Amino acid sequence: MSQRRFARSLAIRHLVCGSCNGCELEMNALAAPQYDISQEGWSIVASPRHADLITVTGPMTEAMRLAARRTLEATAEPVVVVAVGDCASGEGTWCGAGSAGAGAGQELKASIVVRGCPPTPDALREGLRAAATLLDERNS
Amino acid sequence: MYRERTVPLSELPAALDEAMHGALPLGCYATNRTVRTLLLSNVGVLALRTPLSVGEAWESLASRYPLFAYHEREMRALQGIELRSSPDLRPLYFRADAIPEAIIAEGKGVSVVVVGPVHAGIIEPGRFTMSTGGESVVHLDAQLSYSHRALEPWFEGRDALALAPQVARICGNCSVARSWAYARAIEGLAGIELDEGTEYARLILAEMERVHVHLFDLGNIAAGAGYGKATTAALGLRERINQLNHAVSGHRLLFDSIVPGGVRAGTLSDPASTRAILREIRDDIVRFTDAFFARRSVLRRLDGAGIVEESLARRFGAVGPSARASGIACDVRALAPYGAYRGVAFSEERASAGDVYARSDLRRREIERSFDLLDRALRELDIAALPMPAEIAAPPAGVITTVVEGARGAESLSLSLGSDGRVERLHVISAAYRNWPLVTRAMEGNIVPDFPLVNKSFNLCYSCVDR
Ligand code: SF4
């Protein structure tokens, strides 16, 4: 089977680290017929062992920090981390508020950042495409 | 209207028993060492104000009224109030390396299944510990707080007017409802009355939020029942509302559309075309729900799953569609109307079975009622002019609690302002906060594979619970 056939398909594990869930509402919108990410060969997977991409939202919380790190450790290299939304990127409403961290994407060293509060589904799709390209490069 | 009555701790149980009649209990919260117990009735919010002296412990109300259990743990965690005779002294908030032990059932043949905090879908974090006997759940322990960011202490000392965007982002699912509650709190303290057009605009924004959240919930219920086609259809319909949200407010989830003093300039600038688009979407939604609710094999999966008896819902102070599906009258739009709901004689939907079917069907009917309200309000708005938000000079010092009906139920917000317009205390009691205990009870006796279905029939948020 050719390499190309699998190129740009994505198995995504989603991590919520203190998000207001606005970012999750828009991530979920990607499954609507208007965007239908399954047509791109993208799916949300039930185990980090299956994931080649981690999407992460929120500023990071004290209670999630360990589970977030362990999720990342459980993935197989190469894996790409995508910071979804302003909070994860380090520029959002809740970054540094109370006991929140400075941005979950920053902490997990995201290589792709999708800005917005929350990002639109179109912006998310662009970000995920960029991540797929990056993953292809790292995999070849 | 907001009223306070000072009640010493020793007299609180009796005062509470009396105040509970015909009222919806909202919970309690502390500001330093003053505890306020909140109730909503048709005359508005009543706060029983109980100052604690130095070193005095709070006599737990949770054994008598379990609805206070979570609030009391929060007062202990954040205000350092000592609890006496509390049934649950586990810390409410924790660091990743010190997660409190889950409560599990013990007995022959009981095994334990743990899921979370990270889940298989795009959902917020929580850890669920199911004690099971065979496939049946004997006990479910829900460990929330993974999204806790200590936001309420952080609000203290900040300029109240400048905090509106943060308040809109405490939770994405109840953003409009919470912004409305916050605006009403500030306007209530400042003594500002709004014009009719602004009130209609707020009603429209709130109902559009309800429609997109209810559609999302229906789609998730379909997913929990293994009916993927309906999930996709519901998401598609919700997307059309989100696009319309963007057209009317510049934001797909309507964030920041309600601001203290009014609605953001430029919002709902073309009511006639909004009304026309909503009519089209409404027709398609009715087609979708008619098909969904005609599908017998799917309905059988909802029937009798996750039953919540009315008495249980009452004991936990349940609110919103989840409580109404068990027969409780608690829709704030009808119980204590505010804004434009005062003029529309709204009557709430109710059911009695308390199962997943009842909670699903109730949402379907509520979507219909929302469209009725939207149609009427948009017609009114078309003739009323929508002014710029009122300028609010520094609002005066004071304490207030406001309540609005969000998609998931009563959203209450308590604000104490200092004389310089700064927040002394900002406390949020979300509908999800009230209803989480129901999810755990509803699972008892249900099979493990039905957990997603039962859970999604409540579809509670975490961010506004954990804060
Ligand atoms: S970026 Fe905005 S929508 Fe996303 S979690 Fe932060 S506040 Fe919520």
Q: What DSSP string describes B178-198?
A: HHHHHHHHHHHHHTPPPPHHH
CA dist B306 and B356 (Å) reads 6
The reply to whether B60 and B159 lie within a common domain is no
The reply to whether B218 and B357 lie within a common domain is yes
CB distance A103 to A92 below 8 Å: yes
B144 inside domain: no
Q: Which amino acid is at B81?
A: I
What is each CA distance from A116 to A23, A58, A113, B251, B463, in whole angstroms? 9, 12, 10, 11, 18
B102 inside domain: no
Q: Residue ranges of the alpha helices (H) in B225-330? A: 228-249, 271-292, 296-302, 310-315, 320-324
Task: Give the position, in ligand 1's atom list, of the atom nearest the Cα of A86.
Answer: 1
- From the list A86, A84, A81, A87, the residue with the least C-alpha distance to A68 is A81
CA dist B426 and B155 (Å) reads 7
CA dist B331 and B327 (Å) reads 11
Residues of A whose CB is below 8 A from B94: 62-63
Per-residue confidence at B388, pLDDT binned at 50, 70, 90? Answer: confident
Task: Return the axis-axis angle of helices B451-458 and B356-383, rounded to nearest 10°.
Answer: 30
pLDDT at res. A2: 44
**Pseudo-torsion of CA B4, B7, B9, B14, nearest 10°?**
-110
User: Which one of A19, A28, A61 has the shortest CB-CB distance to B235?
Assistant: A28
Most confident among A80-84, B194-198, B449-453 (mean pLDDT): A80-84
B128 inside domain: no
For the ranges A15-24, B133-142, B366-375, the lowest mean pLDDT is seen at: B133-142
Torsional class of B112: left (φ above 0), alpha (ψ -120 to 50), beta (otherwise): beta
CB distance B263 to B386 below 8 Å: yes
pLDDT at res. A7: 60
Question: Radius of gyration over alpha carbons of chain B, in Å?
Answer: 22
**Domain around B57:** 2-84
Q: How many domains does chain B have?
A: 2
The reply to whether B64 and B180 lie within a common domain is no
Q: How do strand B127-133 and strand B136-143 relate by DSSP bridges?
A: antiparallel
Per-residue confidence at A4, pLDDT binned at 50, 70, 90? Answer: low
pLDDT at res. B417: 96
Q: Which CATH number characterizes residue B233's domain?
A: 1.10.645.10
Task: Provide the ipTM.
Answer: 0.93
**Which helix (H) or strand (E) segment is B31 a member of?**
strand B24-31
Residue B443 Cα to ligand 1 middle (Å): 31
Contacts from B14-22 at CB under 8 Å and sequence distance 24+? B15/B48, B16/B48, B16/B61, B16/B65, B19/B46, B19/B48
B134 inside domain: no
Half-sphere exposure in the Cβ direction for A59 (13 Å, CA)? 24
Interface mutation target, options A13, A14, A16, A84, chain B, most CBs of B under 10 Å: A16
Q: Do A64 and B96 touch (CB under 8 A)?
A: yes
Token digits of residue B263: 């609605």
Other Cβ atoms less than 10 A from the Cβ of B11: the count is: 12
* Rounded mean pLDDT, B386-396: 86
What is each CA distance from B104 to B67, B86, B92, B129, in whole angstroms? 21, 19, 17, 7
**Which helix (H) or strand (E) segment is A137 a member of?**
helix A121-139
Where are chain A's structural domains?
2-139
pLDDT at res. B14: 94
User: Which one of A31, A46, A63 has the shortest CB-CB distance to B146?
Assistant: A63
pLDDT at res. B390: 87
B444 inside domain: no
**How does pLDDT run across B59-105, given as a tens digit for each residue?**
999 988 999 999 999 999 999 999 998 888 888 898 877 888 888 99
The reply to whether B78 and B177 lie within a common domain is no
CA dist B152 and B78 (Å) reads 9
CB distance B319 to B410 below 8 Å: yes
The reply to whether B35 and B162 lie within a common domain is no
* Rounded mean pLDDT, A87-109: 96
pLDDT at res. A9: 81
User: Phi and psi for A38 in degrees, rounded to 5?
Assistant: -65, -25
**How does pLDDT run across B305-344, given as a tens digit for each residue?**
999 999 999 999 999 999 999 999 999 999 999 999 999 9
Interface mutation target, options B94, B118, B240, chain A, most CBs of A under 10 Å: B118
Q: What DSSP string describes B216-255?
A: HHHHHHHHHTT-HHHHHHHHHHHHHHHHHHHHHHSSTT-T
Residues of B whose CB is below 8 A from A65: 95-96
CA-based angle A18:A23:A27, to the nearest 5? 125
pLDDT at res. B381: 86
Token digits of residue B70: 């979570």
Q: Which amino acid is at A50?
A: H
Q: What DSSP string describes B41-59?
A: ETTEEEEEEEEPPTTPPEE
Q: Which CATH number characterizes residue B7's domain?
A: 3.30.460.80
Taking the Cβ of residue B95 and every Cβ of chain A, the question of whether any pair is shorter than 8 Å is answered with yes
Token digits of residue B101: 């032990």
Partner A, chain B 124-153, Cβ-Cβ below 8 Å = 124-125, 145-153
Residues of B whose CB is below 8 A from A47: 120
User: Which one of B118, B124, B169 has the shortest CB-CB distance to A24?
Assistant: B124
The CATH code of the domain at A2-139 is 3.40.50.12280
CA dist B370 and B374 (Å) reads 6
Partner A, chain B 167-186, Cβ-Cβ below 8 Å = 169-173, 175
**How does pLDDT run across B30-48, given as a tens digit for each residue?**
999 999 999 999 999 999 9
CA dist B293 and B113 (Å) reads 33
How many beta-carbon pairs under 8 angstroms link A with B?
Answer: 143
Q: Percent of chain A beyond pLDDT 70?
A: 95
Task: Give residues with Cβ within 8 angstroms of B407, minimum separation 6.
Answer: B173, B174, B177, B209, B210, B213, B214, B217, B320, B321
Torsional class of B398: left (φ above 0), alpha (ψ -120 to 50), beta (otherwise): left
Residues of A whose CB is below 8 A from B239: 29, 32-35, 121
Nearest CA in chain A to B460: A21
- Identify the burial level of B297 via C-beta atoms within 10 angstroms of its C-beta, where 0-12 means exposed, 13-18 middle and 19 or more buried: exposed
Residue B244 in this model has a pLDDT that exceeds 90: yes
Mean pLDDT, chain B, whole residue set = 93
**How does pLDDT run across A115-131, given as a tens digit for each residue?**
999 999 999 999 999 99
CB distance A56 to A108 below 8 Å: yes
CA torsion sign, B415 to B212 to B269 to B340? negative
